[in-house]
């Protein structure tokens, strides 16, 4: 089976510095992979390259076996983009639209459902992320941090993606809410058969959520494997990350 994400010999140069060099990573369908690394190690840059917001200096990224910038025009690129959903760190909800319209937005863009179907779908997504129907009419500014994340997750899931990319999903949430949100992602991932890639620096999130861990340090993927395998890897960064001196 073709891997969902395949990064081959990626180089990135930003502001005169090499961020990534000889970076290789493959993620198979159904895996939940955490991408960890120190501040400024280029995790978010890598995520933005995967979703096509940045182009790598050199090397290729393939999603579902297809390059994102492979020609074939807008239609092919849009079809590929509909196969993954992204949860941005701050949620990136459209501030002028209420919760309902935020989730309905990608569905309306498809232009193949009527209003009643869209309403049912939005209500279903709200239920999936454990929000109540009456939350649908709130504006993003009226939501708490945890709710913003849930709405953003519902919007990311609106187009039934096969791949879900999360940038620091628990950043800015208190431990209790963050645990709840992690449980939610885990449950939805299992239920919908998603492949999940998340960028995080929170070891608890990572332990609760992921099947595999990829460590980004020294400009490439230092280690990639199950949590236990990665823990065994002998490297100063990994030692510090997983066994912080207390």
Partner 1 sequence: MLHAHYSETQSASDSIELALTGRWTLRALAEKGEADAAWQNRLRELGRRHVVRVSWNCLDIEALDSVGALLLWRSWGRKLPELLLMRPEHLHIFERIAAADGEPAAVVLPRSPFEGLIVLGAGVLAAMRQMRDFVVLLGQLALDLLHLLRHPIDLPGREISANIYKSGVRAMPVTALVGLLIGIALSYLSSLQLRQFGADMFIVNLLGLSIIRELGPVLVAVLVAGRSGSAMTAQLGVMRVTEEIDALATMGVSTSLRLVLPKVVALAVVTPLLVLWATALALLGGMLAAELQLGIGYGYFLETLPKVVPVVNLWIGLSKGFVFGLAIALIACHFGLRVKPNTDSLSANTTAAVVTAITVVIFIDAVFAVALRGIGVPKL
Q: What are phi and psi for residue 136, nearest 5 degrees?
A: -60, -25
Q: Residue 205: which of 228, 224, 180, 188 has the closest Cα? A: 180
CB of 237 to partner 1, least distance (A): 34
**C-beta of 4 vs 238, nearer to partner 1:** 4
Q: Which is nearer to partner 1, 95 or 246 (CB)?
A: 95
* DSSP conformation letters of 25-92: EEE-TT-EEEEE--TTSSHHHHHHHHTTSS--SEEEEEETTEETTSSSHHHHHHHHHTTEEEE-TT--
What is the smallest separation between the CB atom of 117 and partner 1, expressed in angstroms?
A: 7
Q: Which is nearer to partner 1, 91 or 140 (CB)?
A: 140
Q: Which is nearer to partner 1, 140 or 189 (CB)?
A: 140
Give me the least distance between CB of 28 and partner 1, in Å please: 18
Q: Which is nearer to partner 1, 171 or 203 (CB)?
A: 171
**CB-side neighbour CA atoms (13 Å) of 149:** 20
The residues, ordered by sequence, that sit 6+ positions from 221 with a Cβ below 8 Å of its Cβ are: 23, 24, 25, 214, 215
> Whole-number minimum distance, CB 170 to partner 1, in Å?
22
Least gap, CB of 120 to partner 1 (angstroms): 5
Q: Are 159 and 78 in contact (CB under 8 A)?
A: no
- Closer CB to partner 1, 127 or 174, in the complex: 127
The distance from CA 217 to its chain's CA centroid, rounded to whole angstroms, is 19
Comparing CB distances to partner 1, the nearer of 8 and 90 is 90
CB of 61 to partner 1, least distance (A): 21
CB 64 within 8 A of CB 80: yes
Residue with token string 């025009």: 73
Dist CA 15 CA 57 (whole Å): 12
Express the helix, strand and coil content of the chain in percent, nearest 5 each. Answer: 40, 25, 35
Instruction: Report the chain's C-alpha Rg in angstroms.
Output: 18
Q: Which residues form the interface with partner 1 (CB under 8 A)?
A: 79, 82-83, 94-96, 110, 112-113, 116-117, 119-121, 123-128, 133, 136-137, 139-141, 159-160, 191-192
Min dist CB 241 to partner 1, Å, is: 32
């Amino acid at each position: 089976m073709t891997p969902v994400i395949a990064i081959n010999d990626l180089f990135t140069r930003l502001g005169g510095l090499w961020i990534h060099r000889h970076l290789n990573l493959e993620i198979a369908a159904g895996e939940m992979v955490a991408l960890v690394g120190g501040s400024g190690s280029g995790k978010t840059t890598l995520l933005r390259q995967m979703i096509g917001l940045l182009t790598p200096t050199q090397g290729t990224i393939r999603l579902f076996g297809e390059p994102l910038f492979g020609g074939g025009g807008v239609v092919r690129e849009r079809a590929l983009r509909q196969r993954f959903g992204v949860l941005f760190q701050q949620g990136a909800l459209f501030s002028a639209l209420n919760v309902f319209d935020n989730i309905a937005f990608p569905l309306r863009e498809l232009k193949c459902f009527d209003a009643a179907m869209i309403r049912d779908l939005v209500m279903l997504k709200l239920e999936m992320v454990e929000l109540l129907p009456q939350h649908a009419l709130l504006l993003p500014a009226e939501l708490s941090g945890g709710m913003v994340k849930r709405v953003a997750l519902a919007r990311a899931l609106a187009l039934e993606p096969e791949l879900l990319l999360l940038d620091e999903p628990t950043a800015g949430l208190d431990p209790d809410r963050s645990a709840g949100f992690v449980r939610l992602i885990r449950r939805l991932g299992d239920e919908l058969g998603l492949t999940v890639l998340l960028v995080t620096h929170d070891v608890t999130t990572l332990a609760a959520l992921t099947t595999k861990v990829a460590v980004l340090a020294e400009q490439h993927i230092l280690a990639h494997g199950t949590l236990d395998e990665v823990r065994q890897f002998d490297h100063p960064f990994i030692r510090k990350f997983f066994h912080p001196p207390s």
